[in-house]
Amino acid sequence: MKNINAKWDYDFGEDILYFTKLRKSYSSSVKQDDFIFDLDVEDNICGVEILNASKHFHLSRIQLKNISELKLNLIINEKIIQLEFELEVTLRNSAQNNVFAVEKINENHLKSMEKSMLALA
């Protein structure tokens, strides 16, 4: 059985992918380029919003709307933020697996952490 500890949503009209950890209280957000990091009261990341998601994932909006499983591996240290998304997209009863990775400079001095989050449709 998979440990589901997050939920996701995709705004087709605005092309924004939301990924949020379950049972965490939102406190504030930090924006870096097309990524918005939601922080809890202890300044841990509890969510990620990706603006212009279809551009970043190199997938169509239809494909992003049909995500059946989404996993985020997140590593942050004092210098960098690494995000790796594993997406399973189901179209016409056929599942496609896609991986998207990005590395950013930790210019907002986000708290060091390493975590994985999984969400199913």
Q: Render pLDDT for 57-94 as a digit per residue (tens, 0 to 9).
A: 999 999 999 999 999 999 999 999 999 999 999 888 88
Residue 11 lies in a domain: yes
CA angle 12, 46, 83 (to 5 degrees): 70
Which stretches of the chain are assigned E, i.e. beta strand? 6-11, 16-21, 26-32, 35-40, 45-51, 67-76, 80-91, 94-105, 113-120
Residue 56 lies in a domain: yes
Q: Render pLDDT for 15-52 as a digit per residue (tens, 0 to 9).
A: 999 999 887 788 999 999 999 999 999 998 989 999 99
What residue numbers bound the domain in which 28 lies?
6-120
Residue 31 lies in a domain: yes
CB-based contact 9:84 (threshold 8 Å)? no
Looking at the 3D structure of the chain, how many domains does it have? 1
Residue 33 lies in a domain: yes
Residue 1 lies in a domain: no
